[in-house]
Structure 1
Amino acid sequence: MIKFFRKIRQNLLLEGKTRKYLKYAIGEIVLVVVGILIALSINNWNEARKLKNQELKYLSGIKSDMKLTIIELENYTNLRKTSINSAENIIQMFNNKKEPTLDEFNFHNLNVQIWSPFKKNDNTYQELINSGNFAIISNDSIKDILLNIELVYKEIEFIESHMYKDFENYMFPIYFSAADLESDISNYTHQVSNGTQGDRTELSKEKIELLLKNQTFKNGFVLSKFNNNLVIGEYKKMKALSEKLLDIIDSKIAKSK
């Protein structure tokens, strides 16, 4: 094809048709430029399509992560409420508003002290950040909510770290020095499993009465109740943000189809 166009130009020059040669040359240049622009346009379209598909893949991953996170938030909210209820029962025993039974004290005491920090499902978000692909998300609202969820999670981590430090300072040393942990755990397991696991071991009334006279130990339950209420508030914030994010992602995916 190139040889064909070159031959035409040579014939025009040999025939002395300079004006026609120039017009032809200009037309050829225009065709080349148009071809280049079309090629660039097709390439840009292909790249845009690839980015869009990659974005949709990330959005689907975020959606899956958020659904799991919402389930975990509901589970941990119930867990914290149970812990608050147990702390209230123990505090009533300290304040002589409730007669302590050995099994009940053991159940509520361990129910508060068993530690399980919340972990969100954010594999897709971490991949976006670590790969430098966060900018692929074209919707600013989605990016803003993801960043806000991360901030709320940091606050949850902060509160939960303080909760654990309170356990270490006010509860663990006092309880571990007085209790027979093997017996207490077996008794607790028997209660929570409705008798299918563990044993209903006999607990020491003397040791429990000793614990109920320790003001520092009581303060540990007061702080646990306070911090659990705080962290439940943060769980609610994260759940609301996660649900809002799901709605926006669903809308975005629907429009792309």
Structure 2
Amino acid sequence: MIKFFRKIRQNLIKENKVTKYVLYAIGEIFLVVIGILIALQINNVNEANKTRERELSYLRGIKADLSLNLLELQKTVKAREAHIESSNIIIDYYENQLVEDLDHFNLHVINVCLWFPSDFNNNTFQELLNSGNLAIISNDSIKNDLLNMDIGYKKIRYLENHIQHDLDILIYDQYYTFADVNSSIKNYFQQVGNSPENRVDIGKERVQLLLESQKFKNGCALIIFNNNSLIEKYNNMISTTNKLITRIDNEMETK
């Protein structure tokens, strides 16, 4: 092809057809420019397709993380509600100062002591941030939701740490001081496991000592207050997570 165009140029020069040669040269330059532009356009399309595939890969990863977090949030809400219920029952014992069923009291004391922080998974989003690839997410609404959710997770973690601190100072310290931990735990597992064996005696006098602890009662009251705040944040996060999953689904179906 190159030899063909070269031959045409040579013939035009030999025939002294300068005007036709100039027009031909311009046409050839035009064709070269068009070829370059087409090549650039193809390259841009290929790069855009690669970028889009990377974006979709991130979106799929984010959706998988969000789905796991949704299950964790729903599970944690139930756990916090149980924590509140047991705290209310313990406070009721304090108000009435009468424990007729030591096993029932012990069950809810252990429930109050049981505490596990939520375990959220945002590995894909953190990878986006740490790699500087957040801009690859083309949908600004998704990007803003992810940033706001990251702030929401940090607020939840802060409040959970606050509750953990209250438990350490007000609940665990008093429980370890007055209760026979070994007997209480054995009694608890016999109850939750529906064991036919006789319950391990936790000691009525130890229960009475715990009921005289204002610290323990205050700890239960703070558990109720702070867990109610947490549940509100969890539910807000559940709503936001569901909306974001829908947005991601819609985004992956476009283009």
TM-score interval for Structure 1 and Structure 2 normalised by the shorter chain: over 0.9
Instruction: Quote the Cα distance in structure 2 between the aligned partners of 1:218 and 1:63.
Output: 42
Q: Kindly state the Cα deviation for residue 199 of structure 1 after the two structures are TM-superposed.
A: 7.6
Aligned residue for 1:150?
A: 150
Tell me if the contact between 2:184 and 2:202 (Cα under 8 Å) persists in the aligned partners. Answer: yes
Contact 1:152 1:237 in 2 (8 A): no
Aligned to 1:162: 162
Indicate how the Cα distance of structure 1 residues 155 and 98 shifts in structure 2: closer, same or farther if over 3 A, else same: farther
Task: Please list the CA deviations of residues 22-44 of structure 1 after superposition, one character each: whole Å capped at 9, or x if unmatched.
Answer: 11111111000000000010111
**Superposed displacement of residue 97, structure 1:** 6.5
Cα distance change of structure 1 residues 97 and 15 upon mapping to structure 2, 3 Å threshold: same
Calculate the TM-score normalised by the size of structure 1.
Answer: 0.93
Task: Output aligned runs, 1:34-183, within 5 Å.
Answer: 34-96=34-96, 99-183=99-183
1:98 Cα offset (Å): 5.6
| Aligned twin of 1:224 | 223
Distance 2:144 2:252 in 1: 18
Match of 1:9 in 2: 9
Matching residue's letter, 1:162 = H
Instruction: Give the 3 Å change call, closer, same or farther, for CA 76–66 of structure 1 in structure 2.
Output: same
Letter in 1 for 2:73: L
- What is the CA–CA distance in structure 2 between the aligned matches of 1:4 and 1:21, rounded to whole Å? 15
In the alignment, the residues of structure 2 paired with residue 213 and residue 48 of structure 1 have an alpha-carbon distance, to the nearest angstrom, of: 70
Identity in percent = 49
AA aligned to 2:69 is T
| Alignment root-mean-square deviation, CA | 1.7
Q: Equivalent residue of 2:254, what SS?
A: helix
**Equivalent residue for 1:244?**
243
Mark the runs of 5 or more structure 2 residues left unpaired by the alignment. none
Name the CA distance, whole Å, in 1 between partners of 2:142 and 2:251.
10
In the alignment, structure 1 segments of 5+ residues that lack a partner are none
TM-score, normalised to structure 2, is: 0.94
Q: Bigger shift: 53-62 or 147-156?
A: 53-62
CA 202–6 in structure 1, closer or farther in 2 if over 3 Å, else same: same
The answer to whether the Cα contact below 8 Å between 2:69 and 2:120 also exists between their aligned partners in 1 is yes
Letter in 2 for 1:230: S
